[in-house]
Structure 1
Amino acid sequence: MKTWSDLRIGLKLGLGFALVMVATAVVAVFGRYALEGVGGQVHELVEHRQASVGMARDVKDELNVVARGVRNVALLDDRKQIDAEIERIRGCETRIAGLLERLQAGDRDGEAGRRLDAVQASRTAYTPLLTRALELAAADRSDEARDLLLKEVRPVQAAYLKSLDAFVEHEVLRMQASASDTEAAIARAGTVMLLVALAALGCGSALAWLITRSVTRPLRSALQVTERVSAGDLSGPVPAGSADELGVLLRSLDGMQASLRQLVGGVRGNAESVATASAEIARGNQDLSQRTEEQAGALQQTAATMEQLGATVRQNAENAREANSLAHGASQAALQGGAAVDEMLGSMKGITTSSREVAEIVGVIDSIAFQTNILALNAAVESARAGEAGRGFAVVAAEVRTLAQRSADSARQIRTLIGQSVERIDAGAAQAERVGRTMHEVVQAIGRVTTVIESISAASTEQSDGISQVGDAVGQMDTVTQQNAALVEESAAAAESLRVQATQLVGAVSRFQLPQPA
């Protein structure tokens, strides 16, 4: 059977924390139930007792307002003031009825119910008298209302107020008793929680002492072993531990000490071999350093040549890009010229159309002039028939005929000129079409030239990039070679340092104390 010291540290700590958590849970659960009980009592105190006292006092306040109103009704002579007081009294009575209904609906013990019944009985006796007095006052029978108020209403009102005071007194006493019970419950809950907390504290302290004791003893033993090993003594024994993690630690320290014994013995034998090998490595590194420096010089010359070649190719690429830009500009100019020729051709076609329309209009004018001439001729014939009476009309007809002939001559001349203009415009349009086709051919030729130049520019750029990459690679090789040279020098220095350190290691290992062989 395992003892306490054989338990794992995690289990010990878990048991300790579990005990503390269980005690905390017990305190919390008990506190919750205690608070629920106290909360119920407080709820009863606030929701029922205090509310009942408040509503009863509200009834008393409203009844005092009614009493003042009754007094005013008995003393006032102004009709409007009396009506206002009566209205206020009725409002108070309505509110009193609502408050008493709420009180009746509440939770009451036997004594509170009896006292509330006494209040209702007083109200039952008081309300008819008050209503009768208010009716007399409303009917302008002030003297009768005053006598009724002073002789009958006031005594009943006093009894009404006395019953209300008795109910309020009883509810206040109940509220005080509930408050005392609540305070007692809180005190009991606090005492029990304190006792449980003290018990949990005692158990936790005892368990913490046991856990601390089971941890610190093996740790002191482990500390002694590590101090002895750090001083170079590997011959001493390691005490056996328990079955927990600290016991495992002590056994691991024992194994570590045994491994260190083997390690130190092996290091002593190998340190001299390391010193001899490091000297040979230093000599080889010296030869390698010389060859690496020669290779670095050749790579630097190659890198300079590649840089010059790259500059030449980059200049070619720049020239190709500039030629490409110029070709693009010429292409754009040719395109704009072709567009201008197309616009001019469209304008000439419009002019041709307009000229033909004008020619048609001139033909119409010529036809009108011809018809006018015929009409003037007919008019001259008719005026000749008329004799002396138609002579004036004949003169007018002759003038009209002359104008018609002149209009016809002018129309024929205009038609001839327009025909010549149309022929010239057609010739110009044909020439513009030929120019347009030529411009399109120029644009296509420039486009092909641009494509060729773009190909040359792209090829030059690719060549420049390739040469740059080659130059970068050569530069990287140069850098790596120089780094290798530096590393070779460092390696030589490290080999020399290794030889020195191996010698020092032999001296350092000799300070460890190993058990004497049997």
Structure 2
Amino acid sequence: MLMPAILRNGVARIRRRHRLSILSGLLLIIGLFSLLQLVSVGVISQTMTQVRQDISANESLRQQQALMDKARMEVMNASDKLNRAGIYLLVDKETGSEGSWHSLMDEAEVSLKQAKKHYQLLETATTAETDTEAFVGLKKSYNQLYSGLVELAEGIKTINQIDIFFAVPVQAYQSDFTQKYAHYLQDTDALQKQHGQQFLSSLDRAKTIFITVLGLLLAIAIAVWIGVSQVIIRPLTHIIAHLKLIAAGDLSHSVNAKTRGTREVEQLNTSVIQMQKGLVTLVNQVRQGVDHMVTQVDRVAEDNHRLSEQANRQSHELKVTTEHIIQLSQHLEKNTQHTQQANLHAEDTSKIAAQGETMMNDVKAAMSDIAGRTREMTEAIRMIENVAFQTHILSLNAAIEAARAGTMGRGFAVVAREVGSLASQSSHSAQSINVLIRDSDNSVTAGARLVNKLNDSLHNIIQTAKGTGTFLSEISEISHQQNESIHEVTDRLSTLNDTVRENAGQVEASAHTFSSLLELTERLNTSVSLFILPSTEADVNPMIAQKEGTQRISVMG
């Protein structure tokens, strides 16, 4: 019979030792949540990396296409000006005039230089990912067209003959470049669509993983709730019910020591068992102590004497406290004065801020007027550009008519060239002015936004200043109330000081109350008898005896 009991006690001890604690459970749950969080962070990091790569690739393609467009526009402009220079050269050959094509040749060379500059920037911005087959073919066709235009320009300047146009097939180069450029645009659009699909795929993958993680979190939360209900809430419910019995004075019931809870719940259960045993012992001791209480009356008399001395000391301390409170009242009066001054300063600040808000409204109206004037100037510049373009067309028609007139129209041709040059300069000047007006309009718009923000800030300052003034007024009122309260406390402390002196005399009369102490002792005995105790002390907690036996066996082992 002894060996099975020893084995059962050993198994129970091992189970209690390896039982999961609340801290271990929390650490396990935190570990699971942290693992899921790390997985989520990893997925987000991978998705953001892919998104950054797609955005960078699209930006490179956009920059490459923008530079190629600029180079193409300059090359086409140079080709057009070279053709016009050839026409002027032909007219000069027929009319006998010289130099009418030089300005167009200079403009064509400037366009070729700009095209070369943009192409060099394009070569610098090209990456391995954007250097596709279509782009390589486009660059080859561009270089062919650019070289043909340079050769054509050098030929016109060198031999001053129209035959150079038949020697250099610029039109064929230009047609090939146009075809290659269209193919390049299609290839670029396909790459951008591919990057967009990759971006959407990354987002879908992240969405799927997030849903999975949320499902796992929900499953873990349900499992945690079930576990907490089984190992914490249910055992605690039984313990609380037993504690209510103890609070009602019933110490005859015992607690079930075999609980399926955590280590802390088991310790709480054991503590309740020990507490119940201690209460039983305490009640027995109280019953025994009541019998000895009468013998302590003499000691109470001595305590009354010491209490009288303490009352005298307390009277002195109350006097000192009253003096300190009077000083505190003086400090509060000064604080009230300073608060009133701060309230006046806050009102002045609110008035100044209101004036600033009025001025900002005037500035806002002025900015709006400037913006309206800028739009009117833009319309006027557009009209000037239209007039310059029509004048340029008229000058070209006049030059053609002068060329047909021959020698009789030579002077008219010179006037037509000057009118065309003046129209071109007017167009360029109008474009420059339009750019300046647009920049000015943008600056005015930005300034209007800043003025609106500043107006809002001044409005907030006014509201804050008003709130501060109200708050300072409340502080002043509270300080005044505190000052009155301190005066009242001072008066009551004086009254309390007198009361303490009276108590010192009344302590001596407390000896007459000892007779009533005996009656109170009998009542205490009656109150203690209300507790329901077990028949024997061993019935309170049979499991404690079992634990002590187990500990003795482990010590012997």
TM-score with structure 2 setting the length: 0.50
2:215 aligned with 1:215: no
- Aligned residue in 2 for 1:424: none
Written as runs of structure 1 = structure 2, the 5 A alignment for 1:356-395 is: none
Q: 1:15 is aligned with what amino acid?
A: L
Please identify the structure whose Cα radius of gyration is greater: 1
Q: 1:93 is aligned with what amino acid?
A: A
> Structure 1 488/219 Cα, relative in aligned 2: closer, same or farther at 3 Å?
farther
- Aligned residue in 2 for 1:8: 21
- Aligned residue in 1 for 2:92: none
Whole-angstrom CA distance in 2 between matches of 1:495 and 1:238:
47
Measured after TM superposition, the shift of residue 214 of structure 1 is: 0.9
> Structure 1 493/87 Cα, relative in aligned 2: closer, same or farther at 3 Å?
farther
Measured after TM superposition, the shift of residue 187 of structure 1 is: 1.1
Q: 8 Å contact 2:301–2:511 — kept in the other structure?
A: no
Q: 1:50 is aligned with what amino acid?
A: R
Q: 8 Å contact 1:126–1:157 — kept in the other structure?
A: yes
Q: 2:177 is aligned with what amino acid?
A: Y
- Aligned residue in 1 for 2:135: 116
Q: Deviations over 1:270-294 (max 9, x none)?
A: 234335533x35656788899999x
Q: 8 Å contact 1:59–1:99 — kept in the other structure?
A: no
How well do the aligned residues superpose, as a CA RMSD in angstroms? 4.1
**For 1:86, which of 74, 94, 108 is the aligned residue?**
108
- Aligned residue in 2 for 1:260: 279
Whole-angstrom CA distance in 1 between matches of 2:150 and 2:512:
124
Q: 1:102 is aligned with what amino acid?
A: T
Q: Which runs of 5+ in 1 are unaligned?
A: 297-481
- Aligned residue in 1 for 2:48: 35
> Structure 1 71/205 Cα, relative in aligned 2: closer, same or farther at 3 Å?
farther
Q: 8 Å contact 1:282–1:495 — kept in the other structure?
A: no
- Aligned residue in 1 for 2:219: 202
Whole-angstrom CA distance in 1 between matches of 2:256 and 2:536:
22
Measured after TM superposition, the shift of residue 210 of structure 1 is: 1.2
Whole-angstrom CA distance in 2 between matches of 1:504 and 1:493:
20
- Aligned residue in 2 for 1:135: 154
- Aligned residue in 2 for 1:166: 183
> Structure 1 100/74 Cα, relative in aligned 2: closer, same or farther at 3 Å?
farther
Measured after TM superposition, the shift of residue 5 of structure 1 is: 9.9
Measured after TM superposition, the shift of residue 18 of structure 1 is: 1.8
Whole-angstrom CA distance in 1 between matches of 2:531 and 2:118:
104
Q: 8 Å contact 1:16–1:204 — kept in the other structure?
A: no
**For 1:101, which of 123, 127, 130 is the aligned residue?**
123
**For 2:293, which of 274, 293, 297 is the aligned residue?**
274
- Aligned residue in 2 for 1:65: 77
> Structure 1 132/10 Cα, relative in aligned 2: closer, same or farther at 3 Å?
closer
Whole-angstrom CA distance in 2 between matches of 1:137 and 1:176:
45
Q: 8 Å contact 1:9–1:245 — kept in the other structure?
A: yes
Moved more, 213-222 or 501-510: 501-510
Whole-angstrom CA distance in 2 between matches of 1:285 and 1:167:
108
2:30 aligned with 1:17: yes
- Aligned residue in 1 for 2:171: 154
> Structure 1 203/2 Cα, relative in aligned 2: closer, same or farther at 3 Å?
farther
Secondary structure in structure 1 of the residue aligned to 2:135: helix
> Structure 1 281/488 Cα, relative in aligned 2: closer, same or farther at 3 Å?
farther
Q: Deviations over 1:47-88 (max 9, x none)?
A: 4x3333333333333334334444554566746632541342
Q: Deviations over 1:443-462 (max 9, x none)?
A: xxxxxxxxxxxxxxxxxxxx
Q: Deviations over 1:180-234 (max 9, x none)?
A: 1221232123213322431343134213321232101111011011111111111
Secondary structure in structure 1 of the residue aligned to 2:192: helix
Measured after TM superposition, the shift of residue 89 of structure 1 is: 1.6
Q: 8 Å contact 1:282–1:491 — kept in the other structure?
A: no
**For 2:244, which of 210, 223, 227 is the aligned residue?**
227
**For 2:57, which of 44, 49, 59 is the aligned residue?**
44
Written as runs of structure 1 = structure 2, the 5 A alignment for 1:85-484 is: 85-102=107-124, 106-107=128-129, 112-113=132-133, 115-135=134-154, 137-138=156-157, 141=160, 152-240=169-257, 241-242=259-260, 244-275=263-294, 277-278=296-297, 280-281=298-299
Q: 2:241 is aligned with what amino acid?
A: Q
Q: 2:107 is aligned with what amino acid?
A: E
Measured after TM superposition, the shift of residue 262 of structure 1 is: 1.1
Secondary structure in structure 1 of the residue aligned to 2:253: coil
- Aligned residue in 1 for 2:317: none
Q: 1:221 is aligned with what amino acid?
A: H
Secondary structure in structure 2 of the residue aligned to 1:6: coil
Measured after TM superposition, the shift of residue 259 of structure 1 is: 0.6
TM-score with structure 1 setting the length: 0.53
Whole-angstrom CA distance in 2 between matches of 1:236 and 1:169:
89
Q: Deviations over 1:396-421 (max 9, x none)?
A: xxxxxxxxxxxxxxxxxxxxxxxxxx
Whole-angstrom CA distance in 2 between matches of 1:15 and 1:180:
40
> Structure 1 485/123 Cα, relative in aligned 2: closer, same or farther at 3 Å?
closer
Q: 8 Å contact 1:232–1:511 — kept in the other structure?
A: yes
- Aligned residue in 2 for 1:54: 66
Whole-angstrom CA distance in 2 between matches of 1:505 and 1:178:
89
Q: 8 Å contact 1:104–1:116 — kept in the other structure?
A: no
Q: 8 Å contact 1:288–1:488 — kept in the other structure?
A: no
Secondary structure in structure 1 of the residue aligned to 2:533: coil
Whole-angstrom CA distance in 2 between matches of 1:42 and 1:291:
88
